[in-house]
Structures are given as C-alpha cells and as structure tokens.
Structure 1
C-alpha cells in the first residue's frame, strides 16, 4: 500500500517538475537557449515551479546552505541544558559573531537571501544566550562583574595566542618541507 501512495505522488508531481524545467530544454533544430518570460510570469504556475525557477530556489546553494545551517542552531539550542561551566566561550562567541555579521550580509548580497538571514539571526541569538550564561556563571563565581569580564578576556586572548602559535608552526613545517 505504501508503495502505491509513493507511486501516485510521483505521477502527480511529475507534471509540475516537467513544466518547471521546460524553459531549459532544447528546442528541435535550435541551439540551447533560455525562453524569455514576460514580467510577472514567474508569479504564475504551481508552488513547485516557482521554487524550482527562483534565484534562491531548491536547485541552488542559496536554499541548501540555510537548511544545513539549521543544524548549528539546533546544536546550540541543545546546549541550553548543559551546565555553564562546560560551555566554550570561544565557540559561542564565534557563533554569536558569525550570526551577527552574516545576518546583515545576507540582506546586502544579490539575490537577497532571507532564509539564510533568518538562520544566521537565530544562530546569533543562540550565541548571545550562551555567552550571557557563561558570563553570569563566572560572575557568580568571582562575585563581581569585572572579575568575570577579565577572566573571559584572558581566555579569549589565550585562545587567540594558541591559534597564532599553531599557524606559525604550520608555516615553519611547510617551509622546512619546501627546502
């Protein structure tokens, strides 16, 4: 029974997908060319046709990048249950920063990608919540806000120095291999 339902869905949706790809098919006796459409013609047709031919539609990276990036948001939300002492400040600060930067950038680029802006906005929100949880935890341990902020700053500086040291080591290794 389940195979019949899938078969019916395939047969019913085949017509919509066939019409969506019609402008890209070769015409007999002609070279490959796109058919032009009148202004507003893309508003006509089924939902599947509009999603297929859209500049941020299903066949582009502009659609699949936000879909895959929701995994980061879900992972960040699942960390809400973890104790604050086990959270990484640098990781959550990076999520917060990339969420803020790319939310703005997604609204500037052409085609404007609202789906990617939405996922980046929520990624930034998750980062803000987690960084604030880490800050409040460390503030509670230290007893003052200045001590917690200095501790967080010290951790960020140490992490950056570790990255620089690792990069310098990699450059030296590549230089030694070249000689």
Structure 2
C-alpha cells in the first residue's frame, strides 16, 4: 500500500513539473498559461500588456535583477569621492570580475537579457576604475615610502658623520693635552 502512495506522489509530481514549465514556453505555443489564443492570434496589445506578458517582463526576475543591481553600481559611483586608501581592493576586484563574467553570460542565456548585461557592464567598469585608483595610490605610496626611506638613510648617515667628526675632534684634543 505504501508503495502505491509513493507511486501516486511521483506521478503527481511529474505532472506538476510538466505544467510548471508552461510559463517558459514561447507565446502562442499550446499550453502557454498567461496568454489566451485570441490575444496572440491577431489582437493588438498595448505597450504595458506586451511588457507585462513578455518573457523578460515585469513579472520575472529578468526585470527585477537588473533593477536591484543598479544599487551596486550607484554605490560604486558614490565611492569615487572616497580616498583610495579607504577602498577595498578585493571587493572592487570582485565587482570588476562579476561584471565581466555576468555581462558575457547575459548574452548567452535565453532569453537574452540586455538590461542585466547593461548593469553588469557598468558594474565591471566601476570596479575597473576603482581597482585602477587603488593600484595608482599603492604605487604612489611605494614610491613615496622609497623616497622617505632614502631621506631617512641620508639623515642617519649625516648624523653618524657628525658624531664621528665630534669624536675625532674630542680625541685630537685629548691627544693634544696629553702630549
């Protein structure tokens, strides 16, 4: 008896999964859930209806993912005002890599998501600008610290020479007094 219950569950689950893929079929195909045959056959749809019924429309993640991801781009742009020493290299490198990878992926997937590709492209650009700023700042710091180390070295050499000259002078006076 329990095997029959499991068999019924599997069969019902198969039927549910087969019908769950219906919204992803192309419009006009038999079994498309949200569009009647009258609307697809010859009826004119308004712009809002086409946007609403589109496979990349307002009802799908294809629309809302780019809308939410623009927050990352805006946050990256607002970081342009921050000094480079306060920026994270790993975080901005991750943004740059994410933008590059997902821009390419958005052009491969079906349906092609131009909105998501656009936001990822700008995310990669913002990350690249920030990584460049960080590298330029680090290079200027290494050059300035090298120059600072050379200045400290010269100061130390000068002070050692001054101490040596004073010691020589004192030694000559001590030798001159003893003779």
State the match for 1:83 in structure 2: 83
State the match for 1:101 in structure 2: 101
Which runs of no fewer than 5 residues in structure 1 stay unpaired? 1-31, 145-179
Q: Distance in 1 between matches of 2:81 and 2:34?
A: 55
TM-score (norm 2): 0.58
Q: Distance in 1 between matches of 2:62 and 2:125?
A: 21
Which runs of no fewer than 5 residues in structure 2 stay unpaired? 1-32, 145-179
RMSD across aligned C-alpha pairs, in angstroms? Answer: 1.9
Change (3 A) 1:143 1:113: same
**Offset of residue 46 of structure 1:** 1.4
Q: Distance in 2 between matches of 1:45 and 1:116?
A: 25
Query: What secondary structure does 1:107 align onto?
Result: helix
Change (3 A) 1:63 1:105: same
Q: Distance in 2 between matches of 1:69 and 1:99?
A: 11
**What is the correspondence of 1:142-157 to structure 2 with a 5 Å cutoff?**
142-143=142-143
TM-score (norm 1): 0.58
State the match for 1:125 in structure 2: 125
**Offset of residue 34 of structure 1:** 4.9
Q: Which has the larger radius of gyration?
A: 2
**Offset of residue 47 of structure 1:** 1.3
| C-alpha contact 2:34 2:53 (8 A) present in aligned 1 | no
Q: Distance in 1 between matches of 2:123 and 2:107?
A: 16
Query: What secondary structure does 1:143 align onto?
Result: helix
- Length, aligned pairs only: 110
| C-alpha contact 2:66 2:115 (8 A) present in aligned 1 | yes
**What is the correspondence of 1:28-177 to structure 2 with a 5 Å cutoff?**
34-36=35-37, 37-38=40-41, 44-143=44-143
Change (3 A) 1:34 1:78: closer
**Offset of residue 51 of structure 1:** 0.5
